[in-house]
Amino acid sequence: MTRSSNDIPMAEIDLDRDGFMRTLIRELSGTLEDVVGLEDASGFISIVGTKIGESIGQSYRNALSVEKLSRGQVAAVLVDLKRRIEGEFYIIEESDDRIVLGNKACPFGDKVLGRPSMCMMTSNVFGSIAAENLGYAKVELERTIAAGHQECRVVVHLKHDEAAREEDGREYFGSQG
């Protein structure tokens, strides 16, 4: 059967804005990883993640009419922002020292597989929000879906102490820290 150009909108292809954007980010991160290496690619993505985190954090502070979020509010914001972008983050533990989160679904979907640099979005968004409101954060990506784990486990250390210094991760400092 011959198709006319009028049949294009009915073509059975998997293409929508969300899928296109996820694929775009996957290919950009992959190109960066291939050209400059994983560490530098993660650094570039970190810059973007920090800017996004600052903007999102300000949006939540404005919406809640507060100058700074409390630790409990920070934990709730981290879960809520990921829920809004189709992640399935949940709090495993929350204390004065750290917030431990699990995640069953990456907002990037299967596009994150094999692209660990994309996890810098989570690290920097979480780190910038926590640090700006609480003074300090060190984000440790213990397990990630990108690296092939079933779920993510993210630890946000809140104190610049020996325990945090001993862990791998990226540090973030707020304007008060």
For 113-168, what is each residue's pLDDT tens digit?
999 999 999 999 999 999 999 999 999 999 999 999 999 999 999 999 988 899 99
pLDDT of residue 60: 97
pLDDT of residue 122: 96
For 31-72, what is each residue's pLDDT tens digit?
999 999 999 999 999 999 999 999 999 999 999 999 999 999
Architecture of the domain spanning 15-173: 2-Layer Sandwich (3.30)
For 73-108, what is each residue's pLDDT tens digit?
999 999 999 999 999 999 999 999 999 999 999 999
User: Do 156 and 78 contact (CB within 8 A), yes or no?
Assistant: yes
Residue of 86 and 15 predicted with greater confidence = 86
Q: In terms of Cα–Cα distance, which of 74, 67, 94 is closest to 175?
A: 67
Enumerate the domain spans of the chain.
Answer: 15-173
Residue 14 has pLDDT above 90, yes or no: no
Residue length of the chain? 177
